[in-house]
């Protein structure tokens, strides 16, 4: 979804660095999706990611695999 579409729908995209829970461990859903993207990109998933780190890595791998927004 584009930033404009998010704004029109009342959704706000917040930088992971600004998340209050960003330093918590990666969620199961994030970890699963990361492994899917990493397999497609022929990359390894770093160990012990935080939620914020995982979000940034997901964005990076989405771009690399063509699944980006």
- pTM flag (> 0.85): no
> What 3-state DSSP class applies to 25?
strand
Judged by phi (left if over 0) then psi (alpha if -120 to 50, else beta), residue 58 lies in: alpha
Mean pLDDT of the chain: 86
Nearest-5° angle of CA 39, CA 41, CA 43? 70
pLDDT digits (tens, 9 = 90+) for 38-58: 999 999 999 999 999 999 999
What DSSP element (H or E) covers 37?
helix 28-41
Q: What's the whole-number mean pLDDT along residues 20-32?
A: 92
Q: Which residue has the higher pLDDT, 16 or 52?
A: 52
What DSSP element (H or E) covers 58?
helix 51-65
């Amino acid at each position: 979804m584009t930033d404009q579409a998010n704004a029109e729908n009342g959704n706000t995209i917040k930088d992971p660095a600004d998340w209050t829970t960003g330093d918590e461990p990666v969620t199961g859903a994030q970890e699963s999706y990361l492994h899917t993207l990493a397999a497609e990109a022929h990359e390894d998933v770093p160990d012990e990611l935080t939620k914020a780190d995982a979000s940034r890595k997901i964005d990076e791998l989405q771009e690399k695999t063509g699944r980006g927004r």
